[in-house]
Structure 1
């Protein structure tokens, strides 16, 4: 009887072990199946996204925009892609800030004038596009003076700003401005913008219908043309391969640039920040009084 009971017990235990193994196996299969379903869902989403991007792609339209691309790039290299040097005439901070702002806006205006629409705008619109865009165009240049290895920005008078360590919230206001520039620079660095892209992006930041109260329709027309030019070259690599995801990634960074610069405007309007502002916006400078020339 004992032997019989032991045999039954053994049989039941073995059956239970088999059930447990089946349950474990089934659970493993279920996990694998869920992952496969999830992967397939993500793949379908990516395929749908690629289809949308491919439909809206302008990579094969670059030839249509080549004349405008060449024109804007040549003028950018001639006018904007030049270092600004300046010797301040005044000892007064507010006047120094005006001198610096005038210097930078003059350079931006000179570039804006190379696009034929400028002469068709009324005086108010001409002033508005420069006033609303000069800082973001200049910051776009500054953040491309970035050393990713050292994580630093090249500033005026052979100085550099190295990214701060520690809690951002504990930094002083001026240091936060530099940190914001560093973060922008690091974000844009992976995009590796060339002069054509920098030129077109600078131009469309200037000719933005949001910058003006009047002449919006005129400006919007050239704005959209510049967008198409930029998109067409951004989707195409040097080896003629097409990267459909580069363009949306660039758009995200452009949005980041606009938001960051909007938040910085108060800093660049404050005469008390003239030393830091000069250090950011200029390549080389000298104050009238040698006593005040040290940052």
Structure 2
């Protein structure tokens, strides 16, 4: 078919100049090619359900029923046989295993696109000047002061996390571990809120957006702060309350699957050797994420986010001139923390279903809200 130069090709089923194309099964308005044939959504769904559930039909009449828009639901056997006659392919209908694999592929592609978007943003920002402006220095200074002012004082009295290995006291020890972590989180949440209020521009945002951003980032910033107190030599986390967690101590318990990713993240973070300014800026980046679902004024959050990202990038360029990939590695830590937070939400839900009443309400509220972001 000849298409004039400069005129984009439009598939026939998308060209509604003369009305929508008819479904080859029932004559209703088709929505596209489904299982190799131009069909409507109704016939597509009917054909898919029939194959997936291996449904068997019986015609009450002479197996020669007329199938059109008004009669298609009267005889399922004749409708299915017509689907077969006109060429709908049964081998293109996915079974449960294939559907699961397809969903996973879609999720993987979505994550890959997000990563590519980050890389694209890096390439775009590479065209920007690498020198810190006076405005950048003021922004960085305020963020660092807010972060330093909201540090929790460290209790030097070390408290060991109960070991949840198998045994008669396993459930009691795990309940105690949940409670101890819950007690650690309470003051940490307060400090995250105070930090956010000190980040320039945050308190000028819509109040609902402030709440949403805090709920979305709270676990991520707390994980970041916990990872900064990691001792890679002894593989130990030292929390401000004095609580000490050794890697592997909780491996057998349901709480272990929550703690293990933090150790893995902390190991990778320690290799970057971030200074105090970089840690503070990373926390601010976690706070100002303009793609959080449900934001009412996402463009305002994005403007603040871009200012922080730009200042952060220029700070690294000035202080690490011989480490060109350092900026990319830092940004990937944002993705890592968001992934950890999402997985935590899923795991807490699983534990909640398996062990009703064992998880403190604070965990259910924080992880639940994080999972929605």
2:214 is matched with which residue?
130
Q: Does residue 1:227 correspond to 2:309, yes or no?
A: yes
Report the CA distance shift for 1:221/1:276 in structure 2 as closer, same or farther (over 3 A).
closer
Question: Counterparts of 1:54-65 in structure 2 under 5 Å?
Answer: 55-56=126-127, 59-61=130-132, 63-65=134-136
Distance in 1 between the 2:304 and 2:198 partners? Answer: 13
Contact 1:136 1:257 in 2 (8 A): yes
Q: What number of residue pairs does the alignment pair up?
A: 213
Q: 1:66 aligns with which of 137, 144, 162?
A: 137
Distance in 2 between the 1:75 and 1:138 partners? Answer: 15
1:179 is matched with which residue?
260
What displacement does 1:67 show?
A: 0.9
Question: Counterparts of 1:1-295 in structure 2 under 5 Å?
Answer: 55-56=126-127, 59-61=130-132, 63-79=134-150, 81-83=151-153, 103-155=187-239, 157-164=241-248, 171-211=252-292, 212-237=294-319, 241-266=321-346, 272-274=358-360
Report the CA distance shift for 1:275/1:139 in structure 2 as closer, same or farther (over 3 A).
same
Deviations 1:223-265 (A, max 9, x none): 1111111112223437xx4321111122222211211122113
1:7 is matched with which residue?
none
Distance in 2 between the 1:201 and 1:219 partners? Answer: 16
What displacement does 1:190 show?
A: 0.9
What displacement does 1:217 show?
A: 1.0
Distance in 2 between the 1:242 and 1:197 partners? Answer: 16
Deviations 1:20-77 (A, max 9, x none): xxxxxxxxxxxxxxxxxxxxxxxxxxxxxxxx69944654235551111111101110
Report the CA distance shift for 1:56/1:260 in structure 2 as closer, same or farther (over 3 A).
farther
What is the SS of the residue equivalent to 1:251? helix
Distance in 2 between the 1:60 and 1:242 partners? Answer: 15
What displacement does 1:276 show?
A: 12
1:23 is matched with which residue?
none
What displacement does 1:99 show?
A: 7.8
What is the SS of the residue equivalent to 1:160? strand
Structure with greater proportional helix content: 1
Structure 2: gaps (5+ residues): 1-122, 156-175, 364-373
What displacement does 1:275 show?
A: 11
Contact 2:146 2:198 in 1 (8 A): yes
Structure 1: gaps (5+ residues): 1-51, 86-92, 278-295
Deviations 1:88-142 (A, max 9, x none): xxxxx99999987664433222221223423332321121111111110111100
After TM superposition, the score normalised by the length of structure 1 is: 0.61
